[in-house]
Every structure is written in structure tokens, then in C-alpha cells.
Amino acid sequence: MDKMNNRIIRGGKNAGRTGLRSASALFGLLTILCELLPFSCFSFDRFNVSFSGVQLLMYNIRINSDYLLEIPIAMRACMVASMLLVALGVLLIFLKKNVLSSTAFFLGFACNLAEMPFVSEITKSASQAGFSTVSGEMQTGWMLFLLFSLTSAALTLSLTGVEKAAELIFKLSACISIGAVAIITVYMFVYGSPAIIEIGPLNFLFGTSWKPTADDPAFGILYMILASVLGCLGAIVIGVPIGLMTSVFLAEIAPRWVQKIVRPAIELLAGIPSVIFGFWGMKVLVPFIRETFTKFGYTTTGAGLLAVIIILAIMILPTIISVAETSLKSVPPSYTEASLALGNTKISTIFAVQIPAARSGILAGVILGVGRAIGETMAVIMVAGNIVQLPSLFSSVRPMTAGIAFEMGYAEAGLHRQALFGIGLVLFVFIMLVNITFTFISKRGVQMNAK
């Protein structure tokens, strides 16, 4: 009887796996058939045209007798790759290679998703050709392709079992994170380096004149670099001590009822949009700086480096406080008990034992705070004054982020726009160097604590 029950159970499991395999194969086939449905639609003035996936592969867009709009080769390559990967996934299902099949379906999904940016490239080409009203959008076939391919990947992945599926999802998430960093890095170097090479690295990095629209244009960003560096350093000098002391207060000193008031306030501060910080800085902080320091003989509009430093210092506080407090609470109680047993006071124990023990976590919070300070744009634009000049505490400045956002909207295609990408590359490298430096310091701290 037991053997019969086991056979029935195994037979039910096999039937279920066969059903999942068949459903996954069916959705895979439906994914391929989606190429026959309307994939994208384009409008050029009064001319509208809709293409299936197959038509996009085979034809270009004939707008009128004088103009033929070509479909980008890269878009067609993505379409071919997505179909081949989905077909490979269906084949691997029948070969019972579940992991490889799920991977193929997901890669097909990614290739199909990568087709979307090319629509804007097509419409941009049409705009440059003289068409006034140009638009493009992906349609039903493209969206169903995404849905069906992702469904096939999920069904196939479920055949591997819960443990194996979870392991694969974790690996895939890690690969996606690494891939995103790699793609961004390659993109920044590809689009940012040509302008730096053409202008000259020394002229670009150490030039003091930024006149991109002049008859004799100049593209020196030294003052922007200095404004970003000084703003970030000032925010660290003000924000890190305040954030660290606040985290110590919440973790070790504050009564429970005070924690219930302060902690939600800090969490609320973290949720405030940057534009609100900028609006507050523009309407409250900038007039306060102007009125206060004018009394002491300084000539300032209030908008400048000091306002940037104060705004950034406030904005990085929630990150530093939250991470540092968590790190302090994770210090083993035995450390504190041993220090108190040796006769140290509570305050000396905090500074001599707990903070050094939580050094790596505190530095991680500082890294995250610095990353936000360097990359902040909207609030900085609203209080910086946006004048490219040698930074001083009360002068208007333009950090690199503000320079990109301030000019990208009207920069014409050519060296001006490429130079803005070059600024982005410099900013990207600067952030990477800061993160690597802090990570190295953090690891040294962990090694010293271990010794």
C-alpha cells in the first residue's frame, strides 16, 4: 500500500512538472508569435504608421517620396537576439535544461526591453529631418512579448525547486547589479571622453573659463570642480559630527520617549524631496545669509557656497544618523560591559570603545552621505547662484551637477553637449574615487579592530 501511495505521489509530481513544462513552452511560442502583432507606432506630422516586429526587421519607414527613415541596426539586432533566445529557451525546455532555459527566456526579455530607447532615436532623426510633430511608442506586441517571456522564465524556474530557484534569483540579482554598474561605466566613458579628448584634458580640467556659447567657446571646468569639492567637504565637516553625535544620543543616551520623538523626525527628514529643501533654502536660508552677513560688511546675495554647504549638510544627516545608529547598536554588549567593569565612565566608553568598534559601519554611512552630497542637483541649483567663478564662501558658484542640469536643456548637439557629458564623466570618476577611498579606510578599520 505504501509503495502504491508513493507511486501515486511521484506520478502526481511528474504530472505537475510536465504541466509546468508544457505551459512554459506554450508561453514561449506565444512570445515568438507576438512579433506578428503591432510592435511600434510612429507619427510624423499627419503621417501615422504602425509596424509589427517582423516588419521592423524587414523594412525601413518610408515617410514620403523624398525621405526614408532607417531603423537602427542595433534595434534590429536586439529583436533578432530576443527571438533567438526565446526559441532557444523553448528548445531547452524539451531537453529538460531548466536553468539554462529560464536564463534564455530572461535574456530574451532583456533584449526586447532594450529596444525601447531606439524609438526616441528614430523620432530624433525624424525631427532633425524637419518634421515638426514627431512621436513614437511601443504597442501591444512589444508589451505582450515582455509579459510572455517573463512568464516563461518564471514557470521554467519553478521547475528547479524552491531552493534552487531562490539561489538563481540571488545570483541573477547580483549579476544585474554588476551589469548596471558596468553599463553605466561604459556609457559614461563612451559619451564623455570624446569631448575631453577634443578639448584637451588639461584645458578641460584646469581651464578657468566656461563660455560654451561664445564665438570663441571655452570649456574649462576647474571652478565647477572646486565648487563641488568645497561644497562636499563643507557638508562633511558640518554634517558628520552632528550626525554622529545624534546617532550616539539615540543609541546610548536618549530615554525611550525621546527616541520615539527624534527618530520619526529624522525619518521624515529623509523623506523630504530635494526640491523642498531647495525651496526652503531659496526662501529662508538665502535671505537669512544675505541679511546676516551684510551686517558684518560682507557683500553677498545669499545664494552661494555657504548656502550649498548648509543645505547639503542637512540633507546627508538622515543617512549618517540611521547607519551610524544601527552600527553602534550592533556592537557586542560585552565590549561595553568590559569597559565599564574597568572603571571607565559611560561617555568615555562610548568614545573609546563603541565608536571605534562601529567604525566600519559609521564610515559606510559617511560614504552614503557623501554620495548624496556630491550627486545632489535640484536643491543645489536653487541656492548656488549658478555663476561659474572662483568659489568663495559668500560668492555664487556652480557645482558640476548644477552645470549639467542647468545647461542640458538648451545645449545644442555638438561640442557643448558633449562637454556636459564630459563633466558627467569627471563627476562619475570623482564619486568612484571617493567610494574606493572610504572603502579602503573602512577595511583598514576592520583589520585594526580584528588585531
Question: Which segments of the chain have a pLDDT < 50?
Answer: 1-13
Tell whether pTM > 0.85.
no
Sign (positive/negative) of CA torsion 52, 57, 61, 62?
A: negative
- What pLDDT shows up at residue 27? 84
- What pLDDT shows up at residue 2? 46
How far CA 100 is from CA of 156, 163, 166, 450, in Å, comes to 9, 16, 15, 42
Grid coordinates standing for 247? 546617532
CATH class of 210-450: mainly alpha
- Residue 67: which of 120, 117, 128 has the closest Cα? 128
DSSP structure string for 141-169: HHHHHHHHHHHHHHHHHHTT-HHHHHHHH
- What pLDDT shows up at residue 309? 92
CATH class of 2-160: mainly alpha
- What pLDDT shows up at residue 132? 67
Per DSSP, the three-state class of 131 is coil
C-alpha torsion angle, residues 443, 445, 449, 451 (rounded to 10): 70
Q: How far apart are CA 177 and CA 396, in angstroms?
A: 38
Grid coordinates standing for 43? 507619427
Q: Is 71 exposed, middle or buried (0-12, 13-18, 19+ CB in 10 A)?
A: buried
Domain ranges of the chain: 2-160, 210-450
Distance of CA 19 to the CA centre of its chain: 40
Round to the nearest angstrom and report the end-to-end CA distance of the chain. Answer: 63
- What pLDDT shows up at residue 311? 92
